[in-house]
Chains A and B, each alone.
Chain A
Amino acid sequence: MSSELIGVWIGAFLTLGIFSFLYKDNPFYKFSEALFVGVSAGYWFVVTFWQYFLPKLIDNLVLAYTVLTSQGRVDYHWVYLLGGGLGVLMLLRLFPTVGWLSRWSLAFIVGTTAGLQFTRYLESNGIKQVQGTILPLIVGGSLNTTVGNIVIVVGTFCGLIYFFFSKEHKGAFGGAARVGVWFLMITFGALFGYTVMSRMSLLIGRMDYLFQIWLGLY
């Protein structure tokens, strides 16, 4: 039995374990689940170590140290000590008395996110979308495009009205909000229907794995 064949058997065994969950929770599934969680957490830890920790921190500090010893000058790579310091603060969470120090590191991350995403969202979700919705309402020679453009502009307009929080959805305003929800519902339905095909492809792929690769039935 080759190692690949053993691999296929293990894979098939675990696949069935996951599928058995469809009937009900059982030891077979619990085993697959526990193994899955453990292996994935270990995998992610190792990948983080080799691909982020080493190149982003250790390599930079080693470089700083080499420059210091070989050329006798302090170069900018030492700033990574600060980053490392913020990281070490995270580990202080393990000790209840000094754990609050980790808030500095958390604050650094949250602050970065807030500042970066503020402009990003206004640009890509705000201005770009307005730009994309600026469409001519009358397109000469194409009734199709004309109707399409008008529906898009009206739909976007009503959809935005739906998201108003500080005004009661009553009267004409409420009517427009309702039209907005209709547009949202059409889209949600369409997205649902559109996804069925790719989900079925996944199942077909697994069935192929079980029947073709594992059992060799066809």
Chain B
Amino acid sequence: MQKKSHRCSRVVLAVFLLLLLLLLSVGVPNAQQEETTAVPEDTSAQAPAPPTNVKAYDTPNDNGHSITVTWTLSADDGAGRKNVVSYEVLRSASPDGEFELRGMAPAGENIFEDKGAKEKSDANYFPPHKDFYYKVRARSDGRYSESTVSAPAFAYGQWYHKGKTPVVVAVLLFSTFCLVFITVARKGKKLYIRPLAGIEAVDEAIGRATEMGKPILYILGLGSADMIATIASFIILGRVAKKTAEYQTPILIPCNDPIVMAVAQETVRAAYLEAGRPDHYKEENIFYLTSMQFAYVAGVNGIMLREKPATNFYLGKFYAESLLLAETGSLAGSIQISGTDEIAQIPFFVAATDYTLIGEELYAASAYLGREPVLLGTLKGQDWGKAAVMIALLLGALAATFHFQFFLNLFTVKL
């Protein structure tokens, strides 16, 4: 077995070198560009032709405090005398009243969004449902030429953001996948899930702590309760705490955020209750340390070296501190199980801990540990989501190769 893996690694090295040579033969790109030097333009002192066809309309997909203005470029913008430098957009409440300057657009642009504040107290308040008239003037070295006044337009808010339709579709599609498989699972159909090494190690790790008579350290990461990774970690904590309650192994949870501390207390208390051992729950084991990244790490490192926990869990949101924690834990001789959705920290967890839940595996872990059919149903839903993404990728690649732009537009979210 060992010999085989030995040979395998050599094969990989060889393939690597071959690939290297192959890619080299493709050639290193060489950046070179023709220089273009043009004669400075001759801008005459005459005023440019005015912009025409000025239109104003309510800005779509907004809260109702803005109007969009469009126009046809002046004949001297980029052509003719080429002397337009910018456009200025003016607004008035009546067609022959006083116009005030609302903003500028550079030459070549033919659209401007006149946006104001929504608070009445704000100096730049933009009243909705009120008619406004617009005109646009082209500017060239202090000379102006004005367009005619536009038809009136008023601003109003919308009930639906049309640019976000792809997200609606994604929400509906994904929710349907999950709900369908939850129903299927509830009906008692057995769903297969493949084994995950990190999950299988959880039981073993808790058992080891019990044997050694040492506590378990559970780190919920640096995130607050406003991050899904932290919430996923709460759910896993519930499962882990239930087991520690059964084994009567103490669980230490130093927290980086007071709200996280409160939720962790609720979670662990519930788990102990479920395991039938509410009397073993110790609230003082779940405490707040500090919210500052490295101070928190310093404190946790101290706990690791002095309490010598048998097992450390690092599940949730982690940043640069990942390696500081994992190295100290391995120095203390603990078994370590880690997981995060921060890709930049995964390499350090992979290098310094025994098991790592990579990205989506962190979110799947609660279902794995719970083994309840409903949860396995959502896992199946996630897989269908991935399948949908993969189909979209393939179709998209083909569409892009053959220049079907419309397919790309399906995935464009306009915010």
Contact = CB atoms under 8 A, between A and B. Distances in A.
A218 interface: no
Contacts of B86: none
B396 A134 contact: yes
Interface string A121-136: 1110011101101111
A36 interface: yes
Given A127-B411, A134-B411, A135-B400, A36 B295 contact: yes
A114 interface: yes
Contact of A192 (B298, B351, B393, B403): B351
Contacts of A113: 225-228, 231
Counting chain A residues whose Cβ lies within 8 A of the other chain, the interface size class is 35 or more
B306 A41 contact: no
Nearest to B166: A127
Interface stretch (B46-54, B97-105, B186-194): B186-194
Nearest to A149: B397
Contacts of B412: 131
Overall SS of chain A's interface: helix
A44 to B, nearest CB: 5
Main secondary structure of the interface of B (DSSP, over half): helix
A40 interface: yes
Interface stretch (A4-12, A51-59, A165-173, A203-211): A165-173
Nearest to A45: B291
Interface residues of B, number: 74
A166 B383 contact: yes
B270 to A, nearest CB: 11
A93 interface: yes
Instruction: Report which residue of A36, A114, A135 has the largest number of chain B beta carbons within 10 angstroms of its beta carbon.
Output: A36
A191 interface: yes
Max chain B C-beta neighbours (<10 A), residue from A39, A113, A160, A166: A166
Contacts of A168: 192, 194
A116 B226 CA distance: 9
A30 B302 contact: yes
Given A41-B291, A112-B226, A165-B194, A136 B408 contact: no
Interface string B158-184: 000000101100110010000000000
B413 A127 contact: yes
Contact of A143 (B26, B291, B392): B26
Taking each of B266, B397, B401, which has the highest tally of chain A beta carbons within 10 Å of its own beta carbon?
Answer: B397
B382 interface: yes
B343 A37 contact: no
Given A93-B262, A113-B226, A164-B386, A40 B396 contact: no
Contacts of A213: none
B191 A166 contact: yes
B359 interface: yes
Contact of B259 (A106, A135, A137, A189): A106
B167 A103 contact: no
B65 to A, nearest CB: 17
Contacts, number: 177
A13 interface: no
B347 interface: yes
A130 B393 contact: yes
A183 interface: no
B290 A119 contact: no
Contact of B292 (A43, A127, A144, A169): A43
A40 B390 contact: no
Given A127-B167, A135-B397, A156-B393, A121 B292 contact: no
B389 interface: yes
Contact of A188 (B174, B225, B350): B350
A143 B24 CA distance: 12
B393 A153 contact: yes
B348 A114 contact: no
Contacts of A112: 226
Interface string B296-331: 101101100110000000000000000000000000
Given A127-B166, A164-B386, A168-B194, A33 B171 contact: no
B240 interface: no
A114 B228 CA distance: 7
Given A113-B227, A165-B194, A157 B394 contact: yes
B139 interface: no
Interface string A162-185: 011111110000000000000010
Contact of B262 (A30, A106, A167, A169): A106
24 contacts: A36-B299, A37-B296, A39-B295, A40-B292, A41-B288, A44-B291, A106-B259, A110-B263, A118-B171, A135-B397, A137-B397, A137-B398, A137-B400, A137-B401, A138-B401, A144-B29, A153-B393, A157-B393, A160-B386, A165-B382, A165-B383, A167-B194, A192-B351, A195-B344
Given A93-B262, A128-B413, A134-B400, 6 more contacts: A40-B291, A118-B171, A127-B170, A165-B383, A167-B383, A195-B344
- For the complex of A and B, the 5 pairs showing the least CB-CB separation, nearest first, are A134-B396, A40-B295, A40-B292, A192-B347, A41-B290
